Structure 1
Amino acid sequence: MITIYTAPSCTSCKKAKQWLAVHDISYDERNIMSSPLSVEEVKHILEKCDDGIESLISNRNRFVKSLNVDFEELSLSEAVSIISQNPQILRRPIILDDKRLHIGYNEEEIRAFLPRNVRVLENDGLRLRDAI
């Protein structure tokens, strides 16, 4: 099952949810502002994150700038604790299932959550359309 971590005012979150609905992909949604991630949940997300903590943090966020923290200089437990206590610093949406993690909204990259047979059919359709 796909879980999507969102925030109410997040345009990218709305686009991702709309994309999942259009593709008839069921998901569980979690509003991280009203129900922040636990330390264990942040660690679970980080386990799937190829680029480390920096890829989770929204560096353009004013609150992140006001923290004046270099996450690369912190211990893992310090960084995870700050993230858990301040969900507004996270890039959103965070979409994950048992195998994949995607942060932010990118229509091409979110296609990884389509079942393989659907991706193959869509790719074949795109190739056919390009050939015409």
Structure 2
Amino acid sequence: MLFVEYPKCTTCQKAKKWLTEQGIAFECRHIVENHPTVEELKQWHQMSGLPLKRFFNTSGMKYKELGLKDKLPQMTEEEQYELLATDGMLVKRPLLVGNDFAVPGFREKEWEEKLNS
């Protein structure tokens, strides 16, 4: 399992602790030092079954600086993937990626459901 994180993020720390407590093995990846590629983002988005907007860190400073709240609706999916791939801080974290699923953000109940299915 891949755990994409920003180590200073408190939600990431909480999620990591939760995974460890569940006895789940995972590999960590620093989202800023090794940000997702367009190909990875497309694959994870498809596996998630969620709207692409869920992959954006909408509460992040970078999102607000770029005025993405107003720009995203006018952008194509391809443009959104390209933008997400430019900066790890734009991507919602933590991101848990399994063989057949990807879940952006940490919601304990949602992660439990994915891991138990």
Give the TM-score normalised by the residue count of structure 1: 0.78
Aligned to 1:121: none
Task: State how far apart, in whole Å, the 1-side matches of 2:66 and 2:94 are.
Answer: 21
**Aligned AA (2:80):** A
Identity over aligned pairs, percent? 22
Quote the offset at 1:113 in angstroms: 4.5
Residues 23-38 of structure 1 correspond to what in structure 2 (within 5 A)?
23-38=22-37
> Relative contact order, CA 8 A, sep 6+: which one is greater?
2
Distance 1:115 1:50, change over 3 A: closer
Q: Which moved more, 1:57-66 or 1:107-116?
A: 107-116
Task: State how far apart, in whole Å, the 2-side matches of 1:66 and 1:101 are.
Answer: 27
Task: State how far apart, in whole Å, the 1-side matches of 2:76 and 2:102 are.
Answer: 23
Question: How many residues get paired?
Answer: 115
**Aligned AA (2:74):** E
Q: Which runs of 5+ in 1 are unaligned?
A: 117-132
Quote the offset at 1:49 in angstroms: 3.0
Q: Which runs of 5+ in 2 are unaligned?
A: none
1:78 and 2:79 aligned? yes
Q: Is the 8 A contact 2:5 2:95 kept in 1?
A: yes
Aligned to 2:4: 5
Task: State how far apart, in whole Å, the 2-side matches of 1:30 and 1:22 are.
Answer: 19
CA RMSD, Structure 1 to Structure 2 (Å) = 1.6
Q: Which runs of 4+ in 1 moved over 4 A?
A: none
Task: State how far apart, in whole Å, the 2-side matches of 1:28 and 1:72 are.
Answer: 34
Task: State how far apart, in whole Å, the 1-side matches of 2:102 and 2:36 are.
Answer: 16
Aligned to 1:129: none
Residues 48-67 of structure 1 correspond to what in structure 2 (within 5 A)?
48-67=47-66
Aligned to 2:95: 94
Q: Which moved more, 1:66-75 or 1:77-86?
A: 66-75
